[in-house]
Amino acid sequence: QITLKESGPTLVKPTQTLTLTCTFSGFSLSTSGVGVGWIRQPPGKALEWLALIYWNDDKRYSPSLKSRLTITKDTSKNQVVLTMTNMDPVDTATYYCAHTNYYDSSGHVDYWGQGTLVTVSS
């Protein structure tokens, strides 16, 4: 079965860089149609797509955050890493790792990690 799990710091200081790792199992990110990305949700608020990387290394970024985000994949380790620079308290949120597949659920998110709460505070 497909599982995803986020890991990284739970507390970062303003201006620091956040690095989150998604470690997954049950699928390969070298399989055609597969993508893994990051979605966040501030406390009590709605969901926001941040970045998505596909099996062919094609990448998509939120336009409003593009200058601060980098997404990479390590297919051999079954990991996807997101870095976000210049963190601010408004970036406090639960960060989810997400799986998509064009051939199963038409590219919508069909599997989610449990989420990791990241707090930005000095």
Which residues sit at the interface with other proteins, rule CB under 8 A? Answer: 46-49, 52, 60, 62-63, 96, 105-110, 112-115
Residue with Cβ nearer other proteins (16 or 47): 47
Maximum distance among all alpha carbons in the chain?
A: 44
Whole-angstrom distance, CA of residue 51 vs CA of residue 27? 19
Residue with Cβ nearer other proteins (63 or 90): 63
Residue with Cβ nearer other proteins (29 or 101): 101
Closest CB 50 distance from other proteins, rounded Å: 9
Residue with Cβ nearer other proteins (106 or 121): 106
Closest CB 116 distance from other proteins, rounded Å: 11
Closest CB 46 distance from other proteins, rounded Å: 5
Strands 11-12 and 116-120: parallel
DSSP 49-88: EEEEEETTS-EEE-TTTGGGEEEEEETTTTEEEEEE-S--
Helix residue ranges, H only, 1-122: 102-105
Closest CB 13 distance from other proteins, rounded Å: 26
